[in-house]
Structure 1
Amino acid sequence: MSCCPQPLIFLLLAAAAAPRRPCGPLGLSRDTVLGRPGANITLRCWDEAPGNVTVSWRAEERGRSQRLPAGNALPLHRLRHEDAGTYSCFVGSQRLRSLRLLVQEPPETPRVSCYRRSHDHDVLCEWPLWAKPSPGTRAMLWVKQRFTAENATEQRCRFFSKAQKFVCRVKVPRGADDTKPFLVSTCVSNGAGGAAGEDKIITLNGVLRPDPPLNVTVTALEKAPQRLRVNWSYPSSWDHRFYWLRFQVRYRPEPAQTFSEVRPWPSCPCPCPQPRADHVPSPVLPMFPQVDQVTTTWLDIHDAWRGLRHVVQVRAQEEFGHGAWSEWSREAVGAPWTDPKDLASEMGFFSSQFPMEDGTYGLTLPPELFAEDGADGTGGPIMEASARSTASPYPFLVAGGSLLLGIALCIGIVLRYRQLWQMGGWQGAKPEGEGQHVLVPLGPPRPPLSDTPLLSLPRSPAPGGLHVTSLDYFFSGQ
């Protein structure tokens, strides 16, 4: 009643239940002696040495020879990795035997993780180690398609001492199906033993993990005190001409320790929450829930905090969600645009952010501490000092202009009276004294009052001045 032939079912079951590859210690020759670090061992030249023969020993390691104490038995205490090498015993100048000493520990059990940097790269499987492996340790990896009878592909793994991990490269043939499962097996062995890793089932799509985005920059947008523009570029290992990535951005102001994920605008529910202008940010910000990501290489943050530097990071994933997210990119720092007038006003009335020596902002105090009259009588002076330190320059400009206008008016009045003095219009008398000069009349002496007619003939006034002697014409009643 089965839809598949009976032999094919048995073949699939046999392939699925195939025994694991043996993973034991490497085969040791007869003249190889194994010792573990810290242990004590004894090397023997003969099983039963004659009594009248003197045996000498030499240790040969990396081309160097060292004489050791004589005797048929050579005891070695508290072995170290440096004690490994070849030990030879002699009678006179004749070599009798050479023993190879290995100082090794059983290898660590591998915990393998596989990833693929892009659709056109091979699969890399790796696992880290707590300690450097013993010399001669060998790591192998086998890959085969699941539920098939084909032989597994064997791959030798390489140890990278700087990263302290084994790395194996799995070749991906052209046209391979990205959805078919593969079975991955690992084995690490040396003379002291072997350790097999847990079998893993992977697909080419499932192990996609791009490299982090590059060239992340954060710039301010003019006249937008709550916005930041974030730009980045594709990693060099991903060919964006054929395959796209989607990106996620997270940010935090420098006093905070928790990152927030960006909501692509305007995907947040309306009305979108925005921080108030008079709100002082707390040290820890709430996390936004994860939302759909963007496929562009830029994004605007619409709810940045005024006047604070922000740390921004970006990560990437395959556009259809296959595989895992990349690591976060390197941190980029930027601050929103700040209006100098608004900054002076906020700092003068309620700002409580004090810059530290390293450029960050320290303790955040509530605005109530800057009230005009505090409960302890210290609120007033703090407010006054803050107001004086950040006073607006406009009152000073108005006062300076008024002072200049008053000085100009005084100068005009002085010049006017000086002109009258020169023309004889000032009739006030000065007391005689030392340093005084007698005023000499410019015309003939005036006749007595009795000889002066009540109405004098009008004369044309001399050009350039006003003669007060002609004022009687205006008071004659005509």
Structure 2
Amino acid sequence: MLSATLGLLAVLFLAFGDGLVPEGCPRLDVPGDILTQVPGAPITLTCLDGELKNNATIHWTLEDKPIGPQLGQREMVGGKLLLRSVQYNDSGNYTCYLDGSPVRTLPLLVVDPPEEPVFSCHWKSFVTSIWCEWSLQKKPSPQTKAVLLVRHVQNEETFQRPCHYLQGSQKFSCPFHLRQEDNSLYLAVLCVTNGVMRKASKAQQFRGYEILQPDPPTNITVTAVDKSPHRLKVTWKDPPSWNSIYYRLQFELRYRAEKTTDFTKIESKDQHSLIISDAWMGERHIVQIRAQEEFKLGKWSEWSQEVMGTPWTEPKTPTVETELFISTQVPTTWENSIESLSPENPEGITNTLPEPDSTHSPYTFLVAGGSLVLGTILFIGIIMR
């Protein structure tokens, strides 16, 4: 019954929020002595509140430089300066002189109307503040200010928090703190002004657990497992913003070979290392990890940055090139050995080619011929027998 009542209150607030917010937004205007206007709009500058004498002489300066009437742009009527369509370069200090003496200086600021704020809130950890942020499309004027209005629906408590502009990321950031494990229903509106106009965002409702979203894990390493061509070891650490020893995270890892597009996912609860056991042999892999509160409260973090790793590959053995040596040296006999070591050939160098007058060649042919004749006679004898 209570949850239904809170839900009804939230619906009513959202339904009528846009009409109630302008009155609810605090005035964040620039100091009251500065005149402000948006580009293209007219404005009239008055020198004196009362009537002027007929013979009075009035002239105006902008930043101490004389200005006068300009067709279609500037007109002087009864001591008043009418600017029909102001532009950015019309900003400055306008001084009115009566009979040569300065009477009044009016600062004018020409600025664009503020963007309509569109913000989102996130909670990085139970022990940190909630941050509501608004990213602008273009750089705001220096006079732009913002404030966040927050209402606790259950006890109808309303509070406001100032927003700070971050130059680098070009966004307004508005922190506020909730007690740990607060899952109450809240409504928030972002109000902004640039001194000319005020605008309010649409009312947003959220519960603490719904906007809990950790940062991605850090210090991710992907290393090869020795002598395992299909394995990769992945290690990581909790994000620094999850600075609590009482609350833990669960993780999801996804990976793919670099030349593929489909990821494989692995879940890990309360661990900070995993082994990928089906990696592609010899291929570089892309690994990412995200985190969520251990009991699945809130949202998953964004995926971490990509980290690369390649499985172990067997080292290649160096190839030995074998050269084929063809020897022309004749077999060495005992006599040849003695002969080769004679005083005439002390280094034992053997001439492998027979000299022309050598007697070895005819002798060799004689032995071969005799062997052939003897073999033929034996063969005929066997046949005749």
Q: What is the TM-score when the length of structure 1 is the normalising length?
A: 0.58
Counterpart for residue 305 of structure 1: 280
Structure-2 separation of matches of 1:32 and 1:337: 71
- CA offset at residue 94 of structure 1? 3.1
* 1:161 matched to 2:167: yes
1:335 is aligned, of 310, 318, 329, to: 310
Counterparts of 1:448-467 in structure 2 under 5 Å? none
Task: Tell me how large the CA RMSD over aligned residues is.
Answer: 3.9
Query: Paired residues, what number?
Result: 327
TM-aligned CA distance change 1:415 to 1:298, over 3 Å: farther
- CA offset at residue 163 of structure 1? 0.8
Counterparts of 1:38-77 in structure 2 under 5 Å? 38-39=40-41, 41=43, 43-46=45-48, 49-50=52-53, 52-59=55-62, 65-70=63-68, 72-74=79-81
SS in structure 1 of the partner of residue 334 of structure 2: helix
Code of the residue aligned with 2:91 in structure 1: it is: A
Counterpart for residue 137 of structure 2: 130
Is the contact between residue 248 and residue 293 of structure 2 (CA under 8 Å) also seen in structure 1?
A: yes
SS in structure 1 of the partner of residue 64 of structure 2: strand
Structure with a larger share of its residues in strand: 2
Is the contact between residue 246 and residue 293 of structure 1 (CA under 8 Å) also seen in structure 2?
A: yes
Bigger RCO of structures 1 and 2 (CA < 8 A, at least 6 apart): 2
Structure-2 separation of matches of 1:241 and 1:318: 13
Counterparts of 1:344-359 in structure 2 under 5 Å? none
2:109 is aligned, of 94, 102, 109, to: 102
Is the contact between residue 155 and residue 168 of structure 1 (CA under 8 Å) also seen in structure 2?
A: yes
Structure-2 separation of matches of 1:138 and 1:76: 27
Q: What is the TM-score when the length of structure 2 is the normalising length?
A: 0.71
Is the contact between residue 210 and residue 326 of structure 1 (CA under 8 Å) also seen in structure 2?
A: yes
TM-aligned CA distance change 1:27 to 1:204, over 3 Å: closer
Counterparts of 1:346-385 in structure 2 under 5 Å? none
Between the two proteins, what is the percent identity of the paired residues? 36
- CA offset digits 1:404-448 (Å, max 9, x no partner): 7x85x958x326342364899xxxxx9989xxxxxxxxxxxxxxx
Q: For structure 2, which runs of at least 5 residues remain unmatched after alignment?
A: 69-75, 343-354, 359-385
Q: For structure 1, which runs of at least 5 residues remain unmatched after alignment?
A: 60-64, 264-291, 345-391, 425-429, 434-478
- CA offset at residue 232 of structure 1? 1.2
SS in structure 2 of the partner of residue 418 of structure 1: helix
- CA offset digits 1:104-156 (Å, max 9, x no partner): 2322222221111111111111111112223322211122321324x311111
Counterpart for residue 221 of structure 1: 225
TM-aligned CA distance change 1:28 to 1:179, over 3 Å: closer
1:245 is aligned, of 219, 238, 249, to: 249
Counterpart for residue 296 of structure 2: 321
Code of the residue aligned with 1:189 in structure 2: it is: T
Is the contact between residue 10 and residue 153 of structure 2 (CA under 8 Å) also seen in structure 1?
A: no
Structure-2 separation of matches of 1:308 and 1:88: 75
* 1:143 matched to 2:150: yes
- CA offset digits 1:261-292 (Å, max 9, x no partner): 323xxxxxxxxxxxxxxxxxxxxxxxxxxxx4
Code of the residue aligned with 1:194 in structure 2: it is: R
Code of the residue aligned with 1:156 in structure 2: it is: P
Is the contact between residue 254 and residue 309 of structure 1 (CA under 8 Å) also seen in structure 2?
A: yes
TM-aligned CA distance change 1:80 to 1:135, over 3 Å: farther
Counterpart for residue 33 of structure 1: 35
- CA offset at residue 50 of structure 1? 4.5
Is the contact between residue 10 and residue 205 of structure 2 (CA under 8 Å) also seen in structure 1?
A: no
